[in-house]
């Protein structure tokens, strides 16, 4: 018998600029990564897991060990998608050398295909340092969640001329430093469209523009896992929170009424056959 050919995992070359927009989604666990793998180009193990998985109010408390544990789980459960793992707050800002040590650890211990870090022109030297040493980097500009304490919250970027110039310059600086893609978050649409057209690497939008080279969402937002208000830029494709609520309520009712488990869910008990 011939061997079954395994699907080839995507690389950064497969998600280059041009053609059909790239499909990116976050995942933090093996079961969900397995489900997404056949449908997306890139699985992003985002530091948003601090809020989504651990109930934090922001991403600042996420550790390198947490990112590595979740990144490794996602890589093990996927076969085709390029897996990109976020570098958490404090793991790369101090110096290019520290960034390399931590990024190298993420790559080695997870098996991921690239890392992502936040920051504009001020991080260009670090991006170049990593890329020159064999670590593929995705940038992240515009609204940067790791900087929310410094910027006063989650605020849309590019609303005035000074902000617009900065976001535009940041995107170009990160691309020029060697990033293979740039995530552009929470930035007004006309500016996002302009950046997507002018930056030579793929610009992946989240709350940006349909003109971007791809889109990314937090999968739990997209699947309706939370009943709370969601950001304006999220489109819910399912209401899994309601499905879970209904399933758990029916399970609780069956347990309390002793309808579960039944004979079919017990070992050593024969099912009763009703005479015909």
Asked whether the beta carbons of 186 and 195 are under 8 A apart, the reply is no
Supply the residues annotated as catalytic.
185
- Helices within 46-147 (DSSP H only): 49-52, 64-77, 96-110, 124-132
122 is in an annotated binding site: no
User: By C-alpha distance, which of 14, 19, 2, 17 is closest to 201?
Assistant: 17
Instruction: Please tell me the distance from the alpha carbon of residue 136 to that of residue 161, in angstroms, as a whole number.
Output: 32
Instruction: Please tell me the distance from the alpha carbon of residue 275 to that of residue 111, in angstroms, as a whole number.
Output: 59
86 is in an annotated binding site: yes
Asked whether the beta carbons of 222 and 198 are under 8 A apart, the reply is no
What residues contact 184, with CB distance under 8 A and at least 6 apart?
141, 142, 167, 171, 192, 195, 196, 203, 204, 205, 206, 208, 212
The pair of structure tokens assigned to 43 is 């699985």
The pair of structure tokens assigned to 219 is 């999968």
User: By C-alpha distance, which of 157, 87, 89, 90 is closest to 127?
Assistant: 87
The pair of structure tokens assigned to 29 is 């666990």
User: By C-alpha distance, which of 107, 78, 81, 75 is closest to 15?
Assistant: 81
47 is in an annotated binding site: yes
Q: Residues annotated as binding site for Mg(2+)?
A: 47, 86, 118
Q: Residues annotated as binding site for 3-methyl-2-oxobutanoate?
A: 47-48, 86, 116
Q: Residues annotated as binding site?
A: 47-48, 86, 116, 118
């Amino acid at each position: 018998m011939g061997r079954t050919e395994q699907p080839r995992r995507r690389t950064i070359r497969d998600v280059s600029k041009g053609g059909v927009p790239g499909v990116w989604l976050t995942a933090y666990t093996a079961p969900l990564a397995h489900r997404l793998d056949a449908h997306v180009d890139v699985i992003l193990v985002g530091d948003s897991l601090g809020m989504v998985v651990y109930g934090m109010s922001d991403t600042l408390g996420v550790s390198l060990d947490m990112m590595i544990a979740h990144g490794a789980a996602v890589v093990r459960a996927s076969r085709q998608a390029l897996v990109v793992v976020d570098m958490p707050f404090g793991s790369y800002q101090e110096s290019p050398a520290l960034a390399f040590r931590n990024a190298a650890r993420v790559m080695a211990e997870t098996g991921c295909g690239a890392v992502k870090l936040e920051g504009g022109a001020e991080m260009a030297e670090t991006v170049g340092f990593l890329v020159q040493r064999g670590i593929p980097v995705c940038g992240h500009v515009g609204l940067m969640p790791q900087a929310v304490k410094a910027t006063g919250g989650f605020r849309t970027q590019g609303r005035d001329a000074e902000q617009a110039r900065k976001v535009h310059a940041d995107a170009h600086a990160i691309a020029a430093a060697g990033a293979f893609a740039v995530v552009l978050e929470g930035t007004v649409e006309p500016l996002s469209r302009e950046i997507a057209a002018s930056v030579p690497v793929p610009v992946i939008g989240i709350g940006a523009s349909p003109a971007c080279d791809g889109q990314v969402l937090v999968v739990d937002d997209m699947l309706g896992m939370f009943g709370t208000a969601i950001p304006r830029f999220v489109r819910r494709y399912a209401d899994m929170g309601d499905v879970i609520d209904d399933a758990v309520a029916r399970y609780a009712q069956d347990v309390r009424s002793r309808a579960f488990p039944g004979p079919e869910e017990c070992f050593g008990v024969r099912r009763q056959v009703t005479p015909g």
